[in-house]
Structure 1
Amino acid sequence: MAMDRFVRALIQWQAGSRPEPARTLPVAHLRERYATQVGRLRGKSAQDPDIETKDHLIDGGDGTFRVRTYQPPADRGRLVTYLHGGGWVTGSVDTHDPVCRRIACELGAVVVSVDYRRPPEHPHPGPLRDGIAASEWADRAFPGRPHVIAGDSAGGALAMGIAMHHRDHGGIGFAGQLMVYPPADPELRSESARKYGTGYLEEVDDLRWYYDQYVPDPAHRSDPAIDLLSADHRGLPPTVIGTAEFDPLHDEGVELALRLAAQGVEVHHVPAPGLVHGYLLMADIIPAATEAVRNVLAAVEQMLTPVPTAR
């Protein structure tokens, strides 16, 4: 499918501004730029749903970090722990606030958004440990609810790492997991990484730099929570994977869905034709992105809705 015309215009606008590659910027400057870019998108979007939010500090074992809870107007008794994207290095509960509001409203779920501590100050396994602690806090704070572990981009990879941890340690039995355009291969060997690695908003050389910040020792990149394609997927919860057509990570997401299914996991793969990495943050300003987000959340809804049994 051809690239969405609004996305093409966004890419052309960005190219015209000649932004410096993420890998060349000081981390503080990069985080500020990311937050500003997301804020501009949000400023053009529809009004965010008016729902109750509250920030909490929780103990990560070696310090505290923040989570933000979202209480939906129509609570259907569900729970989502959400890990934001941004290459592990950038992103926050603030940048992904509109995403979590949408999830809360459309799924009727309490959402716990995790402001995990980020590299390079807190490399792997720090963000993963924060995510595990946050998911346990959420399960205690909102007991008895079907619990979905979710995230986009780097947060999607963290979500799967958290699911594997709980599977291996007799922890939370998640009702499902949601990963939207997750990084799954730290070597970035796919055809889409080559084909869409330059000129499609997310640069493959920046992705390599993000891995360098998150897992500075290449010897540790074989960890199953990093190399998701080589992980043991048996016993993981039902999974929704969203991919974007013009994304360096597209093929990794497709391959991950196939490998999960081959190991007996129920998988719903939701493609987003014509779109690029980061489309969750483009909802309400790009119609195709709005539709793609709806499709992803509809797949989660289907995953959580029991199938009636014949009498």
Structure 2
Amino acid sequence: MSGTVPVGSVVPVRWYEPWPGSTGSPGPTLLWLHGGGFFRGGLDQPEAHDVARSLAARGVRVATVDYRLAPPPGLGPAARQLMPSRGRYPLALEDVLSAYGEVGDRSSEGVIVGGASAGACLAAAATLRTIDDGRPPIGAVFAYGFFHAAHPRVAEAHHRSRGHRGLSHARWALDAMNLNYAGSRSALADRLAFPGGHGLSGFPRTLVVNAERDNMRASGDLFAVELADAGVDVRHHVLPGTRHAFLNRPRLAAYAHAVSLVAAWTRGG
């Protein structure tokens, strides 16, 4: 790891260089975004730091981004006074795009944009915006992401979230989280807030890794279909027996499996 640096004196980015002894060229840089429902998380959580270290150990150069978070759901108008450093859409996306420009300047072999959960949604939105700007990434990676303003219904009961996530990840709760991030109904419908259900032409090759027992899988699965329908080269994996946010648990076998998939795919495998 080469440390955290402010991008444009505003957005902190942490760089992870390929470990000594890793084979071959590191190839493109993976710009990786943590999850947390848009309102929690940071550079030190396992889904950011451990994932980036594990990928660097496998020869991938990674940059993680400390994008601005939304206020926690439920604060309403008081959020601006209680948490002035936080803000809703499009602030997080603006931070990611700022980081994307700086990472691109330092990455001669191109940039892949990726993330987990809410970070996957941000990565997809950033991909759309950079396509609009004529400077798209060369790939995208999404781990158990959600992409739709309104979460689709899980098709099969045994694929739903269980335990405490059965409540916190109920569709109504997820939809409330989305609205909290967007800030308004009109912003909720913006393609750069939630790309699902909008045109995806021009997307680069994409890796989608979803958790089997996860209410958010319905959105991830649907987005993979939407990408394929748009003519995108999509590789889609659903890891059996897994639950949401398994990349926050480095001791799980699913963690190592997913990291290996991402590393091989990022390096052209």
Fold-level similarity (TM above 0.5): yes
Q: Which residue of 1 aligns with 2:100?
A: 135
1:121-270 paired onto structure 2 within 5 Å = 121-140=86-105, 142-171=106-135, 173-191=136-154, 196-197=160-161, 199=163, 201=165, 203-204=169-170, 205-270=172-237
1:1-311 paired onto structure 2 within 5 Å = 52-59=1-8, 64-73=10-19, 74=22, 76-95=26-45, 96-106=48-58, 108-120=59-71, 121-140=86-105, 142-171=106-135, 173-191=136-154, 196-197=160-161, 199=163, 201=165, 203-204=169-170, 205-283=172-250, 285-301=251-267, 304-305=268-269
Deviation at 1:200, TM superposition (A): 5.7
Partners of 2:64 and 2:104 in 1: CA distance: 13
Deviation at 1:255, TM superposition (A): 1.1
SS at match of 1:230: coil
Partners of 1:288 and 1:56 in 2: CA distance: 31
Contact 1:261 1:267 in 2 (8 A): yes
Determine which structure has more spread, i.e. the larger CA radius of gyration. 1
TM-score by length of 2: 0.84
Contact 1:148 1:176 in 2 (8 A): yes
Q: Which residue of 2 aligns with 1:41?
A: none
Higher helix share: 1
Partners of 1:198 and 1:192 in 2: CA distance: 15
| Greater relative contact order, per chain length (Cα 8 Å cut-off, separation 6+) | 2
Contact 2:11 2:99 in 1 (8 A): no
The RMSD of aligned alpha carbons is 2.1
In structure 1, give the amino acid aligned to 2:235. Answer: H
CA distances 1:135-181 after superposition (whole Å, capped 9, x unpaired): 101111x231131111111010111111111111112x322100111
Deviation at 1:110, TM superposition (A): 2.0
SS at match of 2:240: strand
Q: Percent identity?
A: 26
Partners of 2:163 and 2:41 in 1: CA distance: 21
In structure 2, give the amino acid aligned to 1:175. Answer: I
Partners of 2:173 and 2:42 in 1: CA distance: 19
Check 1:80–1:296 CA distance in 2 against 1; reply closer, same or farther (3 A cut): closer
Q: How many residues align?
A: 245
- Structure 2: gaps of 5 or more residues: 72-85
Partners of 1:143 and 1:191 in 2: CA distance: 39
Contact 2:36 2:118 in 1 (8 A): yes
Q: Which runs of 4+ in 1 moved over 4 A?
A: 192-195
Deviation at 1:198, TM superposition (A): 5.2
Deviation at 1:111, TM superposition (A): 1.1
Contact 1:116 1:131 in 2 (8 A): yes
